[in-house]
Amino acid sequence: MAQVRLFVEHPLGEGQSVSLTREQAHYLFGVMRLGPGDSLLLFDGRSGEFRAKVAEAGRRGGTLICAAQTRPLRMPPDLWLMFAPIRKARTDFIVEKATELGAARIRPVQTEFTNAERIRRDRLRAHAIEAAEQCGGTFVPDIDDLARLDTVLDGWPADRNLMFCDEALAGQARPLAHRPGPWAILIGPEGGFSPAERARLVAMVQAVPVSLGPRILRADTAAVAALTLWQSRLGDW
Ligand code: SAH
pLDDT tens, 103-142?
999 999 999 999 888 899 999 999 999 999 999 999 999 9
Q: Is 193 in the pocket of ligand 1 (CB under 6 A)?
A: yes
Percent of the chain residues topping a pLDDT of 70:
100
Q: Is 168 in the pocket of ligand 1 (CB under 6 A)?
A: no
pLDDT at site 1: 59
Helix, strand or coil for residue 154? helix
- Please, are residues 206 and 161 in contact by the beta-carbon 8 Å criterion? yes
Tell me the three state secondary structure of residue 147.
strand
Ligand 1: centre distance to CA 82 (Å): 14
Distance of CA 169 to the CA centre of its chain: 26
Quick check: 226 and 187 in contact, CB under 8 A?
yes
Alpha-carbon radius of gyration of the chain:
20
Give the pLDDT score at 175: 84
pLDDT tier at 27, thresholds 50, 70, 90: very high
| Closest approach atom of ligand 1 to CA 171 | 22
The candidate with the shortest Cα–Cα distance to 109, out of 158, 145, 66, is 145
Domains recognised in the chain with CATH numbers: 5-71 (2.40.240.20), 79-234 (3.40.1280.10)
- Predicted confidence (pLDDT) per residue in 145-160, tens digit: 999 999 999 999 999 9
User: Quick one: residue 88, left, alpha or beta (phi over 0 = left, psi -120 to 50 = alpha)?
Assistant: alpha
pTM check: above 0.85: yes
Average pLDDT, the chain: 96
Cα–ligand 1 centroid distance for 197 (angstroms)? 14
State which ligand 1 atom lies nearest to the alpha carbon of 212: 23
Interior CA angle at 171 toward 231 and 212, to 5°?
Answer: 20
Best residue for ligand 1 mutational test, from 97, 174, 216, 220 (most atoms within 8 Å of Cβ): 216
Separation CA 81–CA 185 (nearest Å): 5
User: Residue 136: CB partners within 8 Å, gap ≥ 6?
Assistant: 5
Q: What is the pLDDT of residues 157-190, one digit of tens each?
A: 999 999 999 999 999 998 898 899 999 999 999 9
151 Cα to the center of ligand 1, angstroms = 22
Over 70: is that where the pLDDT of 12 sits?
Answer: yes
What mean pLDDT is predicted for residues 9-33? 96
